[in-house]
Structure formats: structure tokens, C-alpha cells
Amino acid sequence: MAEGFARKYGSDVMEAASAGLFPAPIVQPLTKKVMEEKNINLDDQFPKSLDQVDVPSFDMIINMSGSKLPSTMPIEIREWKVEDPIGKTEDVYIAVRDQLEMAVMRLILELRRGDKPAAQQPAPGILNRVGRRLKQ
């Protein structure tokens, strides 16, 4: 969901990619359904593992998993506490979608303003994340 919002709203300031340590075999049908309600089609997206994404080319990881990242990650890591909606009701998917939309929009606005995020220590997680490459 976060990648979909980032691509739709923030392509002028970022290149987003979503990946995880243990990706699901498919994008969940309810994920696609609730995103289509926001006019975002996820048909071209698929779950990816970290080895399918060039992690060093990104300058930020948004961590939504609750798992610890290696402390040697040379990339800024931000934590977003987001409930995993898999196996839950459509209402949970909608709540997660709306939470992610607002969080992605805040990040996009920060990048458009040119705010330089403060350096942060690595924080927990990486099962689901969005990478960001700054657009020049």
C-alpha cells in the first residue's frame, strides 16, 4: 500500500520499492480492493524479497515490521507502527490504508520542502518496508 501511495503521489521526489525478509506469495485481494477505492491499481506490483531490491541505492528505509534490522545498515531507518492487516477484516485494511496514505503524504511533503531528516539510529524492523531514492 505504501509503495502504491508513494508512486502515485510522490514520484517527483522519490522512487519507492517495497520488499521484505519473508514476502507473501501474492498481493492480497483485499489490499488491491481497498487501494482501488483510492484509484490506485496494484496489478503491476508483487511481493519482493530484499535480494530483489538494490537496498544500497536507497537512502531511507521505512520499517513497518517490528523486527530488528542489522545495526550495520548504512541507511536512515524510520519506524512506522502499522498493523498487519492480513487475515483481518476489510475495515482493518481500510484503516491501515488510510494510516499509510497520511504517513506517505507527510513524508512527501517533508521531501518537497527540502527538510533534511535528522540522522537516526537503526530502529527495529524490516519485514515490510518502503525504500526511497531521492530524485535529483
CA atoms of 58 and 121, how far apart (whole Å): 16
The most confident of the ranges 26-30, 114-118, 129-133 is 26-30
**Model pLDDT, residue 123:** 28
- Of residues 67 and 107, the one with the higher pLDDT is 107
As a residue count, the chain comes to: 136
Cβ(73)–Cβ(131) under 8 Å?
Answer: no
Domain locations in the chain as residue ranges: 2-134
Give phi and psi for 49, each to the nearest 5.
-90, 165
Place of cell 487501494: 35
Confidence band (pLDDT; 50, 70, 90) for 122?
very low
Q: How many other β-carbons are positioned within 10 Å of the β-carbon of residue 42? A: 18
**Model pLDDT, residue 83:** 93
Which class is domain 2-134?
alpha beta
Cα-based torsion angle of the residue sequence 106, 110, 112, 118 in order, rounded to the nearest 10 degrees: -150
This prediction has a pTM of 0.81
Average pLDDT in the chain: 83
| pLDDT score of 112 more than 80 | yes
| pLDDT score of 7 more than 70 | yes
User: For residue range 41-99, what is the model confidence (pLDDT) as tens digits?
Assistant: 999 999 998 888 888 888 898 988 878 776 677 788 888 999 999 999 999 999 999 99
Cβ(125)–Cβ(6) under 8 Å?
Answer: no
When pLDDT is averaged across residues 101-120 and rounded to a whole number, the result is 80
**Helix boundaries (H) for 2-123:** 2-10, 29-36, 90-113
With H, G, I as helix, E, B as strand and everything else as coil, classify residue 129.
Answer: strand
Nearest to residue 63, comparing CAs of 10, 132, 134? 132
